[in-house]
């Protein structure tokens, strides 16, 4: 928990507002493809960087210190020809924590079904009034709005709904086209359409409420002189995950939350000073709902 942010970002935090545009880092890895024309991949990086960072996604003009920090990492594994590519994309975003130098991970997702067409030096343009039909633009735009939604949800209860709605529209268009992988809710488990459908589902209202309280009432107060009250807020929120214990194995949104937050949750309560919190109860719940991290995290907690 030792990442540094600028003085400007600290001043931004003081205003307690949330940013709605991105400061994205882009990385394209095409080592497995070989070939002599490596310039096309540098061109792809630049096209995506310009597209994500220069597009007005929300209609607001913000300074760099106000923007959401995020990463888009693309690994290309196939090039069938005709400017076509296949691979996977990892999307990450972070949120600053009030009155600290710490940044909390909000989203960390690897999308294994990423295919698209790209021509070197192609100018990528987003038009929210018209479905592009270009999977590169559609996938990136989907994750941009998902990032915006996650960020806004962490500062205001259900504050990201307007951005999630835009992501949902892109997903619906992608699924209706039935051309590219990654959009089909039925044939492809844990796809983009499933994620946004779950986020927008009335059944997920409690998880979205937890997401807000975890960050705004919990993390943003965690480094005050009295940490126990903030930890209690986080603990109580996490214990509400019992609501989903009957279907958590099929819940992509919930699983993604636990995967993204596992390290942070472990460190919050592993530092001691937990007051009257019964850590064993949370330990038991997380072993059930996030078993893949049992050995690494949950079994390491001392009662």
Residue 267, pLDDT > 60, answer: yes
pLDDT of residue 36: 63
Average pLDDT (32-61) is: 90
The string of pLDDT tens digits covering residues 126-154 is 987 766 779 999 999 999 999 999 999 99
Who has greater pLDDT, 223 or 264?
Answer: 264
pLDDT of residue 38: 84
Q: What does pLDDT average to over the chain?
A: 89
The string of pLDDT tens digits covering residues 105-116 is 999 999 999 999
The string of pLDDT tens digits covering residues 48-94 is 999 999 999 998 888 878 899 999 999 999 998 889 999 999 999 99
Helix (H), strand (E), coil (C) string for the chain: CCCCCCHHHHHHHHCCCCCCCEEEEEEEECHHHCCCCCHHHHHHHHHHHHHHHHCCCCCCCCCHHHCEEEEEEEEEEEEEECCEEEEEEEEEEEEECCCCCCEEEEEEEEEEEEEEECCCCCCCCCCCCCCCCCHHHHHHHHHHHHHHHHHHHHHCCCCCHHHHHHHHHHHHHHHHHCCCCCCCCCCCCCCHHHHHHHHHCHHHHHHHHHHHHHHHHHHHHCCCCCCHHHHHHHHHHHHHHHHHCCCHHHCHHHHHHHHHHHHHHHHHHHCCCCCCCCHHHHHHHHHHHCHHHCCCCHHHCCC
Residue 6, pLDDT > 60, answer: no
């Amino acid at each position: 928990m030792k990442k540094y942010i600028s003085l400007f970002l600290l001043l931004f935090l003081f205003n307690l507002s949330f940013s709605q545009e991105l400061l994205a880092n882009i990385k394209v890895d095409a080592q497995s493809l070989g070939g002599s024309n490596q310039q096309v991949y540098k061109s792809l990086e630049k096209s995506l960087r310009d597209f994500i960072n220069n597009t007005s996604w929300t209609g607001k003009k913000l300074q760099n210190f106000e923007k959401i920090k995020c990463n888009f990492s693309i690994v290309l594994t196939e090039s069938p020809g005709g400017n076509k590519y296949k691979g996977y994309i990892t999307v990450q975003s972070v949120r600053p924590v009030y009155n600290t130098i710490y940044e909390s991970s909000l989203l960390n997702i690897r999308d294994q079904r990423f295919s698209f067409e790209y021509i070197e030096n192609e100018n990528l343009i987003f038009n929210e009034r018209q479905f592009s039909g270009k999977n590169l633009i559609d996938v990136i735009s989907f994750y941009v709005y998902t990032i915006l939604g996650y960020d806004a949800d962490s500062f205001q209860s259900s504050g990201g709904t307007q951005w999630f709605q835009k992501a949902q529209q892109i997903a619906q268009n992608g699924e209706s086209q039935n051309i590219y992988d990654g959009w089909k809710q039925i044939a492809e488990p844990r796809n983009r359409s499933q994620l946004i459908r779950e986020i927008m589902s009335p059944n997920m209202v409690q998880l979205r409420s937890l997401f807000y309280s975890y960050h705004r009432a919990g993390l943003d107060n965690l480094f005050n002189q009295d940490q126990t009250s903030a930890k209690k807020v986080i603990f109580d929120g996490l214990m509400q995950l019992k609501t989903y214990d009957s279907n958590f194995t099929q819940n992509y949104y919930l699983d993604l939350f636990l995967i993204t937050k596992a390290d942070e949750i472990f460190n919050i309560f592993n530092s001691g000073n937990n007051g009257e919190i019964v850590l064993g109860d949370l330990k038991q719940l997380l072993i059930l709902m996030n078993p893949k991290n049992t050995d690494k995290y949950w079994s390491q907690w001392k009662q």
